């Protein structure tokens, strides 16, 4: 299955300040602030929803097509993704903007001062999904993840017009999108990925009920944090899957992206919804156990063992066999 992954590519620049921000804030002078903090640690991590999901699909043996806008400064990041089976041939490279960046400084009280620079992501609306589909040999599925809002809507409309099944993953961009924009993004989706809060936000912004949402998409996948995930497919009973057993809890950043990677890899391998969600939950746990969204590693044997531990050997056998038969997973 040829899967397109549309959305953001970004780098996270995370700094640690060995003091307290509050010591530099003077009461009565906050209307005129000029502050500079000498940090003692800088960590740069790869991120962006589309890049994270594409990476996970590549780790599981697929060759996803990344559909994103970046700056000319992304060559090192591109090489990393290519080494993990991600096709970057259709990435739009801006002539004027840098790749998106998240910059965050954290003090000893865990207070944070952060900025997000969208950069080249603002040019994502220049990407033509029809061109990507034509030149890539066709897309069997495209997942539309947080990006420039107009680009997200453009991709949904193009997928509907071209008859390409698509997965809608509005996530944090729903805060910027109107109810009408959310409707345009979601309606007709094969899959809708949200968490509980995002599901409620869709209802609030669109005026749709839960039943209305269910009628607009074929499969609705909702994550519930530590309670696992549910999969609601039209005409089928709701499937509930618990979280995979964790061995450590280091950083939750990117667990949702990893879940989507695993679920869609299961779809590509022809697995049932339950096993797809189990694979998604397992990848989410791998991310939770590591620092960074693209730092997890495993092989067939180890993945089989972890799946068996969480979901039983029968399901683990089915998942690994399906991946072996349909992907380049080793």
Annotated catalytic residues are: 257
Q: Is the dihedral of CA 7, 13, 18, 24 positive or negative?
A: negative
Asked if 300 and 320 touch (Cβ cutoff 8 Å), the reply is yes
Written as six digits, the tokens of 76 are 């090192």
Query: How far apart, in whole angstroms, are the C-alpha atoms of residue 246 and residue 81?
Result: 26
Distance between CA 21 and CA 24 in Å, rounded? 6
Strand runs (DSSP E) across 48-138, as ranges?
65-67, 69-70, 92-93, 100-106, 112-117
Do the beta carbons of residue 221 and residue 191 sit within 8 Å? yes
Altogether, the residues listed in the chain come to a count of 330
- Residue closest to 6 by CA, chosen among 57, 62, 69: 69
Cα–Cα dist 313/115, whole Å? 45
Give DSSP secondary structure letters for 302-328: HHHHHHHHHH-HHHHHHHHHHHHHHS-
Nearest by Cα to 49 from 72, 26, 67:
67
CA triple 184-187-189, angle to 5 deg: 120
The dihedral over CA atoms of 252, 256, 260, 263, expressed in degrees to the nearest 10, equals: 70
Pure H helices in 21-105: 49-59, 75-83
* Contact between 45 and 11 (Cβ < 8 Å): yes
- The answer to whether residues 147 and 7 touch, using CB atoms and an 8 Å cutoff, is yes
């Amino acid at each position: 299955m040829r899967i397109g992954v549309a959305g953001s590519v970004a780098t996270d620049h995370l700094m640690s300040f060995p003091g307290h921000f509050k010591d530099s804030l003077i009461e009565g002078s906050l209307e005129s602030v000029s502050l500079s903090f000498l940090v003692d640690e800088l960590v740069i991590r790869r991120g962006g929803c589309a890049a994270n999901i594409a990476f996970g699909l590549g780790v599981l043996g697929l060759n996803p097509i990344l559909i994103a806008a970046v700056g000319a400064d992304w060559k090192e990041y591109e090489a990393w993704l290519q080494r993990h089976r991600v096709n970057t041939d259709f990435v739009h490279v801006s002539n004027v903007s840098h790749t998106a960046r998240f910059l965050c400084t954290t003090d000893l009280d865990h207070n944070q001062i952060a900025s997000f620079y969208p950069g080249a992501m603002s040019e994502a609306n220049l990407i033509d999904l029809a061109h990507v589909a034509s030149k890539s040999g066709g897309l069997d599925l495209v997942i539309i993840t947080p990006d420039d809002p107009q680009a997200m809507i453009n991709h949904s409309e193009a997928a509907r017009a071209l008859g390409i099944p698509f997965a809608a993953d509005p996530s944090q961009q729903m805060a910027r999108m109107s109810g009408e924009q959310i409707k345009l993004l979601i309606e007709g989706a094969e899959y809708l990925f949200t968490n509980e809060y995002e599901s409620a936000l869709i209802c609030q912004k669109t005026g749709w009920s839960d039943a209305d949402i269910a009628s607009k998409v074929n499969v609705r996948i909702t994550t519930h944090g530590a309670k696992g995930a549910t999969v609601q497919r039209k005409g089928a009973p709701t499937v509930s899957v618990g979280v995979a057993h964790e061995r450590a809890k280091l950083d939750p950043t990117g667990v949702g992206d990893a879940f989507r990677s695993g679920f869609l890899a299961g779809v590509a391998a022809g697995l049932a919804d339950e096993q797809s969600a189990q694979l998604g939950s397992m990848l989410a746990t791998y991310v939770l156990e590591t620092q960074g969204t693209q730092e997890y590693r495993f092989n067939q044997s180890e993945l089989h063992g972890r799946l068996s531990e969480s979901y039983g050997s029968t399901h683990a056998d089915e998942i690994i066999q399906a991946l072996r038969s349909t992907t380049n997973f080793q």
